[in-house]
Amino acid sequence: MQILNDRKPSRLFRRGRRWTFRAFVPEELRAIIGKREVWKSLGAVSHREAVRLSHVESVKADALFAEARAKRAGSTTDDTPALVSDRASPRQPHKRACCN
């Protein structure tokens, strides 16, 4: 018997009928990233889809924080890729797979 966890992820918030992903940037990384928080609207999707999308965005945010920590530690070189936030706008609308 599988027990399902029905708790909402801590970085997932509901605003009206829309779900939003929000991750607060650690204070020591704010100067590097240039933001206090990273957020993205997930759209008016079901709770299950919002949870799935928040996991994807959480991985991206954690990668951004790891890259910023590496940059802060001085372990980056000129061939290191740009920060995740430099590659994609954090406010790009969510594109659903079904509606191209």
Residue 55 reports pLDDT greater than 80 = yes
Q: Is residue 26 part of a domain?
A: yes
Compute the C-alpha angle 70/74/75, nearest 5°: 60
- Mean pLDDT of the 58-84 span: 78
Q: Is residue 62 part of a domain?
A: yes
- Mean pLDDT of the 21-42 span: 95
Q: Is residue 97 part of a domain?
A: no
Alpha-carbon span 21 to 82, nearest angstrom? 22
Q: Is residue 29 part of a domain?
A: yes
Per-residue model confidence as pLDDT tens digits over 9-30: 889 999 899 999 999 999 999 9
In terms of residue numbers, what domain contains 38? 12-74
Look at the chain and report how many structural domains it folds into.
1
Q: What would the two tokens of residue 71 be?
A: 């940059």
Alpha-carbon span 92 to 100, nearest angstrom? 15
Q: Is residue 6 part of a domain?
A: no
List the alpha helices (DSSP H) in the chain.
30-33, 47-73, 84-87
Q: Looking up tokens 């928040």, which residue turns up?
A: 54
Alpha-carbon span 34 to 26, nearest angstrom? 11
At residue 80, the pLDDT reads 44
At residue 74, the pLDDT reads 85
Q: What would the two tokens of residue 97 be?
A: 């797979």
Q: Is residue 2 part of a domain?
A: no
Residue 76 reports pLDDT greater than 80 = no
Q: Is residue 86 part of a domain?
A: no
Q: Is residue 4 part of a domain?
A: no
